[in-house]
Structure 1
Amino acid sequence: MKAMKKIWRYIKQYKKLLYISLIMLVLNQVLGLLSPLIVKEILDEHIMGIEFPWYQVAEEGEHTVYFNGDYYKQERYFGDGETKGKQVSVFTHKSNFYFVYEPIIEGKKTIDDQTLTVVKDEITKTYSISKLDYEDVIDFYKPSFFMLKILVLLLLARSILSIIIGYIQRISTANLNINMVRDARLDAIKKVGRLPINYFEQEPAGKLSNRIIHDVGGMMMLLGTLINLVINASMSFIFAYIGMFYLDAKLALISFVIYPIVYIWLRFFIKKLRKVATKVNELNSLITASLNEIINGISILQIFNYKKQTSKRFDTLNKAFMGEHIKEIKLHTTLGWNMINFLRGIVTAAIIVYFGYGYLNVEGMVISAGLIYAYNEYLLKLIDPLNILFRQVGNLQHAVVRTERIFKIIDGEVEDNTKEVIPRYKGRIQFENVWFAYHEQDYVIKDINLNIEPGQVVGLVGHTGSGKSSLMSLLLRFYDLKPTDKGKILVDGIDITNFSKPTYRQHIGIILQDPVLFKGTIASNVRFGANDITDEQIEEILIHIGAKQLLDKFDKGIHQEVSRAGSNLSVGEKQLISFARALIYNPSILVMDEATANIDTETETLIQNALDIVSKGRTMIIIAHRLSTIKNADKIVVLNNGEKFEEGSHKELIINNGIYANIYRSQV
């Protein structure tokens, strides 16, 4: 199985736990084999064994019973050469015990007062009997007391051992599962950081989260289910047949007839179940994604009173999930669990019919309660693997689907993660005849030629959809030029695709329109992994860029906890933290994507001052809608419909009286 091969890479790290678990499973199955045999021994040899032949003996000794002035001993307790006296009989009838001074034949028994009548094959015999009182019955059972105690203690010990072994097995399996899932989840998180950016555009965040949190449990379910099916069920099957062949080989062979029927039945069941399981898991992921969307957009939903429509959309999805889940339950209850219970009933009835018919028609066939009990137990142990199979096959299908989904992340196509230390860029950037399309040849960047010199501040302007962000995505290598695209991008004269992305990006930074802050403190968000930076340095940087008010705002200063998504900070304050982070990172090329779009005029002045500080000693590209941000840029590039339309300084573009001039006048 492909899914099992995939998770083996995690299991093999914890082989010791796996071996312990498997050994405990086998030991439990061995104990399960012994239990029916011990019970059979108790019933047939010692409870019903009171009816075995008794003989009169001359004197008291070991295993003798005193009754009505004479001593008696069962045939099985006689030693070699020991003299047997007159044979007598003890038998049970309708919960009473009787003594007969002669051997009796097997047959249909009736008792009338002190007379026993036995009828067999048209032969009728009568016997004079004595009813045994409670003390007499106890006396006749005393020779078996010692072995009964031993056998009962064995049953008790078997039960205690089974509990201990089961505990060890479950703990070792749980440890194996927990470690395996932890490792897989960590690998999935590592891979998320290396997935191509277009993966996140195609996959909703909630659905991706569901895969890492929920679907990774499919590996644990798959291992547990396979252990149950392959090991537990197989061992149960093998040991059951050992017991059955030991008791009655003929019936054991007859039982093989059922397996072709079960095989056809199971194939049909699995085929139906797999389709439903796939839909159930897919809808479960969509529900998680929908919830994530609702929670993240709750403010918009409330403002626009879109709550009813949202609930309706969620209800539609939820009903679809419920419908598929109900289908799965119906499938189990019709072709799964109930059919197994039906088969269990047929097996019990078949055993009774088989032994009953044999007892009546097969000469010399001896049937006992212990034999029927033991054989029924073994046959039910054959049904148990089928029961496990049909109960667990649903889990198996879900586990396989979920395992395949998580391994789409773990084994998915990822970017080269190698990182080499390279000299800091001087900062010269060249776009040479660049054509780029997200899909086939629907180009969003068309024949862009652009030279940016080291240390220049360049503004990138254009209407929505003009290609500004796409051009910067290429520079940042969120996307690479495909074979169907054209041109190349150079940094310091070297094609950027010559490096792995981690190597290339070590001297490039970005400040986004909506700053991304993570759970932690202001200091941890500024430091952002640069653990050699001290608190004093962070405070100096924040003061340097004009963020002293941020330090004064909170009693804890830079150690103030940041709320979810930085909700306890203003947009301007979050942006200042982003600027401080950029200074800590000290990139030679810095891209600012609409960094002043969502702030007021006063804060914009503060950001502009910070921008002047951050831009020193590095090449800076600013995507701006507010042209006041780039008014003093060394060069401004105007894009229109994916093409470079204008290029020059602020004054030159105003004189040119083109798109830039029109945008500037509208803002002024």
Structure 2
Amino acid sequence: MYIWKQLWAYTKPYKRFLFYSLFALMLSTTIFIVGTMMTKIIIDKYIMGMFRPVSVSNTIQDEKKSVFYKGKYYTRIEENSKLNILEKNSIILTKEGYVLINSDIADEKAEIKDNRLFINNKESNVGFNILTKDEVWNFYEPYVGSATLAVLSIFILYMAAACLMYTCGYSLRILATKVVFDLRKDAFKQLQKLPVQYFSDYPDGKVVSYIVHDSNAIFGLYENTLLEIVKAVVQVVFIYIAMFLLNVKLASYALLILPIIAVWLYLYRKYVSENFKETREIQSNMNAMMNEQFQGIEVVQAFTHEDESIAEFDVLADDYLEYKRKFAVLSALYTDGMAHTVRRLAITLTLVYFGREFLSGSMILSVGTVFAFVQYVDSAFAPLFWFFGVLNRFERAIVSARRIFDMFLNVPSKELEFSTENLELKGNVEFKNLSFAYDNENYVLKNINLIIPAGNTIGIVGHTGSGKSSLMNVLLRFYDYQKGDIVIDGRSLRDYPVQTYRAHVGMVLQDPVLFSGTLFSNITFNNNDVTEERVLEIMSQIGAQSFIDKQPNGIHESVEDMGRNFSVGERQLIAFARVMVYDPEILILDEATANIDTETEIMIQKALNVISQNRTTFIIAHRLSTVKHADQLIVLNKGNIVERGTHEELVEKDGLYAKMYQSQMREEYTHEVLKNSKENFVLNM
């Protein structure tokens, strides 16, 4: 039920489109009912009316409807006729054509054989005349105008119904477009607010699948599924009303089948809903896997892992195929064959009922009445043909809506709210007995105690998996810590509105992220307060002016596909400039110099010396040479601080840091010797 409440919240602003569609739908259905009734009248009065008894007189009985034939006037006897009837004749249709019989034989069987009249298979002496085409037309002519007007009225009504259905469909498509637009916009907005841990739990491909494919299913729900469901309900209700107007007894019998259909639909929906839920989940997993494989295709092919990837995908594909097979069984069992059977059975029983009532003399029937009732019965059960298909789309849409709301829009994100507080930070940071685990069990940081005065630069070093990046993740509140606290300027980090706090913290990652656009838009994040002159000044400060100068369009050079048209070092420079634009009080460099060449490292090191002044700076270092001049170095090992001090103090201590530093120095020395040897060899060639 909560899904409908939430969908209604998105529908409510555009409810006028919904109400207009419902009004147009009900009006067009009413027109169909009226049109069928008018068709009944045309059949009974203007087509089969030819065979009604006619009054014969020597004078005109009706100025408009009396027909002169062989010296006498013939006037059709209508229902509730006030004619002074002295003599009745009948018109019948035989193999020889239309025949005027000088007697009322409306309820008897008559035929012409060898120019002799037989009534109820017995030869009769009653006089008769075989009518010519012109004479038949004379008997029809008084009613041609009324019949033509009735046919034109039906045509106009059905054209109006077509226009109403067009505007109904158009309004629903407008409604669907607006609702899905708002849903996608809110889902994307919510994604910006969700904690980083959320994206660790769900693959990118699955998230994209939820937003794109599931919202498309919701679009279909508004565009045609709801229309067809409401149309079916309205059509059945209105038709039953019309059936009761025609024949109360038979309409009452027809009502008995509705509970059977209701149980039928309930069972079908119960089994199909679970099937769609599992199918959608498998489909999302397939999308996630394809996205993962495409992004890592170089690794897959480099390690010749193609066959294993195909086998893994085949498992998902087989599961998907199995659920589709089960759905095919359900669909075949509940839909086409059964629906056709019920429909034909209903029409057959209707005709049997009319035949029995007519033959027993309990009911006087007209052809138009039989036509109208059969038409109504057929139209009442016709929705069964497509209702199960509609129900399939309906279930898909509900499953999709539930996933979108549960995965995105119903996820609490209070920790990401902004505040109107005018926050000013100095940059004093203290870790108090801090412990943190990603899964609330296996702690990756253990009892961290650390005080960093404002404006200090602290280097964080350690082997892979020691907890360096995790320490910065909790400082940025990407993840919440379980024990202890982090205090910023004497105030607990948990007391700060997280996004307001992050506005005062800058970060450069080991693998910098660039977005489609230009260098300028990536550096400024489209902040209109940042001028082009300011960006050029910053690029000059970090020694990246030569990088800008070699670009054909300068700082307006295009950035393509996550910055793949630039080297890793160039992307680092752009990310570094992005941080400097916002002039944060706290700066975090997470392995920012790990993947760049020595020349670029020197360039960034120069910029670091400038921007780290009067700013609290955390440097997670792979190259220990980049943190030699830090005010304090922290050495982490398995989540614990095992050493702390300046570079000189730790080298003199000859502990873990000293061994790491000496190892790197040997590697760099060996690399330099090999490089010089290669250059000398080339020169001697």
Sort the TM-score into its range (normalised by shorter chain): over 0.9
Residue in structure 2 matched with residue 665 of structure 1 by the alignment: 662
Note if 1:528 corresponds to 2:529: no
Deviation at 1:378, TM superposition (A): 1.2
Which residue, out of 544, 565, 568, partners 1:547? 544
Deviation at 1:318, TM superposition (A): 2.5
One-letter code aligned to 2:98: F
Residue in structure 1 matched with residue 419 of structure 2 by the alignment: 419
Deviation at 1:317, TM superposition (A): 2.0
Kept in 2: contact 1:225–1:395 (CA 8 A) = no
Matches within 5 A, 1:483-562: 485-562=482-559
Kept in 1: contact 2:513–2:562 (CA 8 A) = yes
Counterparts of 1:43 and 1:79, CA distance in 2: 19
Kept in 1: contact 2:11–2:175 (CA 8 A) = yes
Deviation at 1:387, TM superposition (A): 4.0
One-letter code aligned to 2:242: G
Which residue, out of 361, 365, 370, partners 1:372? 370
Counterparts of 2:2 and 2:114, CA distance in 1: 75
C-alpha RMSD of the superposition:
2.0
Residue in structure 2 matched with residue 300 of structure 1 by the alignment: 299
Note if 1:239 corresponds to 2:241: no
Q: Comparing 377-386 with 17-26, which one deviates more in the overlay?
A: 377-386
One-letter code aligned to 2:462: G
Counterparts of 1:611 and 1:260, CA distance in 2: 77
Which residue, out of 626, 631, 639, partners 1:629? 626
| CA displacement 1:198-247 (0-9 Å, x = unmatched) | 21111111111111111123433444567346632222122111211111
Residue in structure 1 matched with residue 668 of structure 2 by the alignment: none
One-letter code aligned to 1:262: I
Kept in 1: contact 2:169–2:223 (CA 8 A) = no
Deviation at 1:176, TM superposition (A): 0.9
One-letter code aligned to 1:157: I
Residue in structure 1 matched with residue 405 of structure 2 by the alignment: 407
Matches within 5 A, 1:558-637: 558-637=555-634
Residue in structure 2 matched with residue 644 of structure 1 by the alignment: 641
Counterparts of 1:442 and 1:35, CA distance in 2: 74
Residue in structure 2 matched with residue 439 of structure 1 by the alignment: 439
Matches within 5 A, 1:19-418: 19-59=19-59, 61-76=63-78, 80=82, 83-93=84-94, 96-119=97-120, 127-223=126-222, 227-228=226-227, 231-363=230-362, 365-408=363-406, 409-416=408-415, 417-418=417-418
Q: Comparing 311-320 with 140-149, which one deviates more in the overlay?
A: 311-320
Kept in 1: contact 2:184–2:215 (CA 8 A) = yes
Counterparts of 1:399 and 1:58, CA distance in 2: 73
Deviation at 1:424, TM superposition (A): 2.9
Deviation at 1:328, TM superposition (A): 1.7
Kept in 2: contact 1:207–1:289 (CA 8 A) = yes
How many equivalent residue pairs? 661
Q: For residue 518 of structure 1, give the secondary structure of its aligned residue in structure 2.
A: coil
Q: For residue 464 of structure 2, give the secondary structure of its aligned residue in structure 1.
A: coil
| CA displacement 1:144-170 (0-9 Å, x = unmatched) | 111111111111111210111011111
Kept in 2: contact 1:572–1:607 (CA 8 A) = no
One-letter code aligned to 1:402: S
One-letter code aligned to 2:209: N
Kept in 2: contact 1:228–1:388 (CA 8 A) = no
| CA displacement 1:493-530 (0-9 Å, x = unmatched) | 11111111112212111100110111110000001132
One-letter code aligned to 1:247: L
| CA displacement 1:293-344 (0-9 Å, x = unmatched) | 1221122223333333323322332332233223223312221232112211
Residue in structure 2 matched with residue 428 of structure 1 by the alignment: 428
Q: For residue 426 of structure 1, give the secondary structure of its aligned residue in structure 2.
A: coil
Deviation at 1:105, TM superposition (A): 4.5
Q: For residue 89 of structure 1, give the secondary structure of its aligned residue in structure 2.
A: strand
Counterparts of 2:166 and 2:561, CA distance in 1: 42
Counterparts of 2:300 and 2:485, CA distance in 1: 44
Counterparts of 1:650 and 1:433, CA distance in 2: 25
Kept in 2: contact 1:105–1:118 (CA 8 A) = no
Deviation at 1:616, TM superposition (A): 2.6
Change (3 A) 1:30 1:567: same
Deviation at 1:627, TM superposition (A): 0.8
Kept in 2: contact 1:436–1:443 (CA 8 A) = yes
Counterparts of 2:96 and 2:401, CA distance in 1: 59
Counterparts of 1:229 and 1:14, CA distance in 2: 19
Residue in structure 2 matched with residue 6 of structure 1 by the alignment: 6
Deviation at 1:653, TM superposition (A): 0.6
Q: For residue 414 of structure 2, give the secondary structure of its aligned residue in structure 1.
A: coil
Kept in 1: contact 2:172–2:222 (CA 8 A) = no
Deviation at 1:403, TM superposition (A): 0.4
Gaps of 5+ in 2: 666-685
Counterparts of 1:640 and 1:215, CA distance in 2: 45
Q: For residue 590 of structure 1, give the secondary structure of its aligned residue in structure 2.
A: strand
One-letter code aligned to 1:174: R
Gaps of 5+ in 1: none
Deviation at 1:134, TM superposition (A): 1.9
